[in-house]
Structure 1
């Protein structure tokens, strides 16, 4: 009887010893998976984005104004996926990336103004009204701005179509949902931002183009009256508080033959860089470019559309154009956003990188490899313990 009880007790101890390593293994593995997921989906955004800060204005450009400079964040080409071209996992993955990157930027930088330069949606030009309403809800949920920050939106070709495909219905639907008329003038502490619908600059007198041209002419007069160079008599209502050369923002880049002259770290790769731009498709026409530069005389022009970065002098030689790349991993492995600081006589900008999608994928692959090795090691250790007991 004593021997039997000893055998039963010894057998139970062996089972307990066998179960204990299993529990430890599960806990350790679960913790490892959790911390890998937390790092790749949350922490890495703070680590990368904390490296970027607001640029500083150069004192060489003149004395600073009494008021604080305006802090602006610019993103482009979010391309929220639709029901026809977007797989559910692709949509989940890329929208989480943009949500996490944008909200991290809001926490770190706290911009005063946020501008989105078109192609908010991927299928806005042909989706149903109910799906478009879903687009709008998703956009404002993903890109929610805190109190004290204002967001302004320019329209892109994926939102309403290229010029030949834009209908009054599609245009009005977008304008109403995002409060984005064809031409907007936003003035903050002597800094003037002009947002333009790129598809409205065809110059053919269409339902979209004619009102846009009239509004641009009106803004031209307002700027000239404020500066004191308008030939005719100025109405007091046509004057701004302070004159400064405006910042032009739209979806299309200004006219250029290709991206060959772009040497930014986020510029298009070869051979994409060598592809020739088609006027009115990949960029504005040369005629529309010269006309809008002559009317507004911007100090800085910001655009999107190409999904790649580019910095170059304006065709007039007096100012800079910056093309902001896509904010989504779906269009670019190394997306980024623009931070800019403006005073009436000065500005500075910097591009802020986001985590690379390839880096996150490599981290997951490394984690999976380590998990497999850990599993093999644990099984081998368990096998040795069993052999020792026997």
Structure 2
């Protein structure tokens, strides 16, 4: 009877471990409508379109990873990516900065394990297009910015130039990523490089739009040259006609309203069963900037006027939130996808359709507190099995001694 109970208990242990592992790593997604409840967005979420998985703040430790990170955190982060790609089938992956926990403190030699860790985490998924931008934890604050290090890191990530910016197109949708850390700083080479990218992309978009208008209306001469005194204030683009903008820091919140206030978390750790914030601050350290930090007002206005972004995705704040700026531009802040940053990690799925319609889904992953409780119960159950086995063996020995 004891043998059958031990077998049943072992089977229960193995099956519960399997089902928990699958449950905690499978994302749960909900569609987030716009404030105006445009039905086109809901339709975009249901139909085929360019589906992009957007994550932020992975906070990889590289060679500084301890036992917990290596055999617990990394395992589940890899499972998060694997299950998310299997169930949601995105066409592309975007990471909005801070993919390293202490990158700004690392030498190039120390950076290599971080890059290897990132490639190892996403495994076979690396065959899909992916784009990673730089955050303050990756390259530091204004006093620590090293243009040579930024250039070196950018050269090991697809699509980034020497200033840490990138522009690419998928299915006729243009994406533009900016080194938003440099935009916080004064006059430096990196900031000038970012401004050059903004001006170039603005000019390209205006040229494309004006070219289309010329073909349709024939209002302009084919030989007309654009004014050499082009400036962003002269931008004739309509709001929302520009690229999909990818940033690490959110834009300045002046004139910004929450999407009816119902799609924003109040606090990253509000439902946490453990003080994860304090725990992981000891492990990963604090970043150069607070999570409430954002791009300055003048740089924000400059971006809006020059680019007229279709939609903005930003990270750093650790929380999911859906905002609408004064000019109607939608900004989505992407939650951290790491237990280093919050108890309930997550990411965003953006589905892009023609006609500027974008469907947004907020996806949540298993809580770290649930994993800790489960592991505690698992260890307790294993100890009970060992105790039963020990008592059975002890009883057998005592019976044998009694027979002697």
Instruction: Give the TM-score normalised by structure 2.
Output: 0.74
Relative distance call for 1:147 and 1:177 in structure 2 (3 A) is closer
Structure 1 counterpart SS, 2:341: coil
Aligned mate of 1:343, from 353, 356, 359? 353
Q: Is the 8 A contact 2:168 2:176 kept in 1?
A: yes
Name whichever of 24-33 and 163-172 sits farther off. 24-33
CA shift digits 1:50-83 (9 cap, x unpaired): x43888996647x99xx96211110000000145
- Does the residue aligned with 2:123 lie in a helix, a strand or coil? coil
What CA deviation, in whole Å up to 9, does each residue of 1:18-47 have, x standing for no partner? xx83x555544443433333233x31146x
Q: How many Å separate the matches in 2 of 1:87 and 1:147?
A: 25
Q: Distance in 1 between matches of 2:177 and 2:124?
A: 19
Q: Within 2, Cα distance between the matches of 1:374 and 1:143?
A: 36
| 2:268/2:318 contact within 8 Å kept | no
Q: Offset of 1:142 from its aligned partner? A: 0.5
Paired residue total: 350
**Equivalences for residues 272-291 of structure 1 within 5 A:** 282-291=293-302
Q: Residue 38 of structure 1 is aligned with which of 10, 18, 24? A: 18
2:291 and 2:24 mapped to 1: Cα distance?
36
Query: Once superposed, what is the RMSD of the aligned Cα atoms?
Result: 3.9
In structure 1, the residue corresponding to 2:242 is in which secondary structure?
coil
Q: Which of 187, 202, 212 is residue 205 of structure 1 equivalent to?
A: 187
Match of 1:15 in 2: none
Q: Does 1:233 align with 2:218?
A: no
Deviations 1:256-309 (A, max 9, x none): 38x99665364425899xxxxx89981111111111111111131111112122
Correspondence for 2:263: 264
Residue-by-residue CA offset, 1:83-130 (whole Å, 9 max, x unaligned): 55x432234322111100001111112211111000111121121222
1:376 Cα deviation after fit: 6.9
1: CA distance, partners of 2:379 / 2:70 = 23
- Per the TM alignment, residue 172 of structure 1 is displaced from its structure 2 partner at its CA by 1.4
Tell me, in whole angstroms, the C-alpha distance in 1 between the residues paired with 2:60 and 2:333: 20
User: Which region of structure 1 is more displaced relative to structure 2, 204-213 or 363-372?
Assistant: 363-372
Show structure 1 runs of 5+ residues with no match: 1-19, 236-242, 273-277
User: How far off is 1:372 after superposition?
Assistant: 5.7
3-state SS of paired residue (2:201): helix
The reply on whether 1:250 has 2:247 as its aligned counterpart is yes
**2:157 & 2:126 partners in 1: Cα distance?**
18
1:52 is paired with a residue whose SS is strand
Q: Which runs of 5+ in 2 are unaligned?
A: 215-219, 228-239, 271-276, 278-288
Q: Matches of 2:30 and 2:297 in 1, distance apart?
A: 35
CA contact (8 A) 1:304 1:323 kept: yes
* Rg larger in structure: 1
The TM-score normalised by the length of structure 1 is 0.76
User: Greater relative contact order: 1 or 2 (C-alpha under 8 angstroms, separation 6 or more)?
Assistant: 2
